[in-house]
Amino acid sequence: MLEFDLQENGLRKLNSALHDQKENSNQTVWKVTNPKGSHSIAVGIDAPIEVNIEGSTGYYCGGMNKQANINVKGSVGPGVAENMMSGKVVIDGDASQYAGATGHGGLLVIKGNASSRCGISMKGINIVVHGNIGHMSAFMAQSGNLVVCGDAGDALGDSLYEAKLFVRGKVKSLGADCEKKEMRPEHLELLEQLLSDAECDAKPEEFTRYGSARKLYNFNIDNSDAY
């Protein structure tokens, strides 16, 4: 394991070293100490490596991740795993606003709670939140899956496209064009796999599925109040 003291060596040096990692690198496990809420830690990685961050981080931790497994032993600021393409990002604590925004792939696991706009405009990413999520989560979510083991705030799934939302607890309100959906066997199978990957012991049968009512795909004057 390579240990990198962020306070001593600086963010630019860390990210440069991580960007230099390749498919056949033998520097496969990294430990980052003294993050102290720094922004943009471990962004833009494109290699099958493991990065363990010992403490809380600021904005955009793990953004644009591809292939890497990133573990944060703390909480994270806004935009964690923003625009992630593949790999896995695990947060032991809480996440601030727009976690997993615009993510195209991979798995984001938040073991605490997530703030507002979790999964906004998600485009294929899978997000599992062990706790609660805030308002306007999955706004304009296009594809992928958002799993919430706790409660969801106001306007869940507003202007939703084809992403699937699974909530175990209560939903304060649904956004425009989001509705409760039937939970079919294939959804239970999908949910079981996601919960397993996220190391969550919740049961798929305890969740409710939500999805798009498909009334806002094209403009219709009868639905003008919903736009």
pLDDT of residue 25: 74
Q: Say if 74 falls within a structural domain.
A: yes
| Structural domain includes residue 132 | yes
Q: Is residue 226 part of a domain?
A: no
**218 Cβ neighbours under 8 A, 6+ residues apart:** none
**Confidence at residue 223, expressed as pLDDT on a 0 to 100 scale:** 65
**Structural domain that includes position 94:** 2-215
Is residue 209 one of the residues assigned to a domain?
yes
Each residue's pLDDT expressed in tens, for the chain with a length of 227 residues: 899 999 999 999 999 999 999 877 778 999 999 999 999 999 999 999 999 999 999 999 999 999 999 999 999 999 999 999 999 999 999 999 999 999 999 999 999 999 999 999 999 999 999 999 999 999 999 999 999 999 999 999 999 999 999 999 999 999 999 999 999 999 999 999 999 999 999 999 999 999 999 987 666 767 666 65
The count of structural domains within the chain is 1
Q: What is the structure's pLDDT at 22?
A: 84
Task: Output the pLDDT for position 216.
Answer: 78
Q: Taking the model in full, what pTM does it have?
A: 0.94
CATH number at residue 140: 2.160.20.60
Alpha helical stretches, state H, 122-221: 185-197
Is 176 inside any structural domain?
A: yes
What is residue 66's predicted lDDT score, i.e. its pLDDT? 97
- Domain assignment present for residue 221? The answer is no
DSSP H helices in the chain = 6-9, 11-19, 185-197
- Residue 6's pLDDT is what? 96
Q: Is there a domain that residue 225 lies in?
A: no
DSSP string, the chain: -EEEEHHHH-HHHHHHHHHT--TT-S--EEEEE--TT-SSTT-S-BSS-EEEEES---TTTTTT-BS-EEEESS-B-TTTTTT--SSEEEESS-B-TTTTTT--SSEEEESS-B-TTTTTT-EEEEEEESS-B-TTTTTT--EEEEEESS-B-TTBTTT--S-EEEESS-BS-B-TTEEEE---HHHHHHHHHHHHHTT----GGG-EEEEE---SSS--GGGGGG-
Let me know if residue 222 belongs to a domain. no
- Asked if 165 contacts 138 with a C-beta cutoff of 8 angstroms, the reply is yes
